[in-house]
Amino acid sequence: MTTQDLHRAAVLHRRKGDSLERSGRHDAADEAYGMALGLLDDVLAGFPEALPQDTHRADELAAEAAELWGERGGILRRRGSLDAALASYRRGAFYEEARELPATYNRLNALKLALMIGESRLTDLADELGTLRDSLANRLATDEVAADDAWLWADLADTRLLLGDIAGAELAYRSFIDRARTDSPDVTLSVLRDLLDQLEKNGDPAAPALRQSAAHIERVLA
């Protein structure tokens, strides 16, 4: 199988796992996720240790690697392997940063997961969240294709909310809802609730204020 074939097969197994998980077949879902992980690891094993000198090729490889590490992190997260998921997101974030890619998926998920497992507190990540917020806002303002991507608006909303910008978060969440599938807002709010639960469990001093801000957002969106 080619690299593209392996990647496509991994995505299909991940989607199968998601479907099985939704239907309550947890053991079967875990098996499908395991198959997806094995395929992704096979693809990643074939990547060069260093990016080539050619700028265009380096950008292509970095974008592909970032996507693969992000998918791997997402699957590990679904399986509850949070430390391993964080390591995958950080590996993907390395490629995003190394080539200054427009994608921020790995960087944002790495920050969120560091908060969830208690490795960092919200105030520790303010500068990194601010950098991501500015990068997302600039991309959404200048890239017409990106501006139609619901999930980029959700990411911008999340960064603004975590930084305490309630009004800005509300506007971004509204833009997200205008572009998202019917069930997407529920998924996003569920992830946000999980993050808040973990912040409170970890004793993060910012958790009570963030809980109030998130409750306000939920009331407005409802």
DSSP secondary structure letters along 89-140: HHHHHHHHHHTT-S--HHHHHHHHHHHHTTSS-GGGGHHHHHHHHHHHHHHH
| pLDDT tens sequence across 11-47 | 999 999 999 999 999 999 999 999 999 999 999 998 8
Residue 76 has pLDDT above 70, yes or no: yes
- Please state, rounded to an integer, the average pLDDT across all residues of the chain: 91
As a whole-number percent, the residues of the chain with pLDDT over 90 amount to 68
DSSP code of residue 2 = -
- Measured CA angle at 31 (ends 26, 33), to 5 deg: 90
CA–CA separation, 213 and 31 (whole Å): 38
| pLDDT tens sequence across 156-201 | 999 999 999 999 999 999 898 888 876 667 777 788 888 999 999 9
Q: Where are the domains of the chain?
A: 121-222
pLDDT band of residue 10 (cuts 50, 70, 90) is very high
Name the more confident of 186 and 9: 9
Mean pLDDT on 64-90 = 95
pLDDT band of residue 151 (cuts 50, 70, 90) is confident
CA–CA separation, 13 and 28 (whole Å): 11
Q: Which residue has the tokens 């391993």?
A: 84
CA–CA separation, 19 and 24 (whole Å): 9
Mean pLDDT on 98-119 = 92
Q: Residue 151: which residues within 8 A CB-CB, separation 6 or more?
A: 176, 180, 184
What is the full DSSP assignment across 37-93? HHHHHHHHHTS-SS--SSHHHHHHHHHHHHHHHHHHHHHHHHTT-HHHHHHHHHHHH
Q: Residue 81: which residues within 8 A CB-CB, separation 6 or more?
A: none
| pLDDT tens sequence across 199-214 | 999 999 999 999 999 8
What pTM was estimated for this model as a whole? 0.88
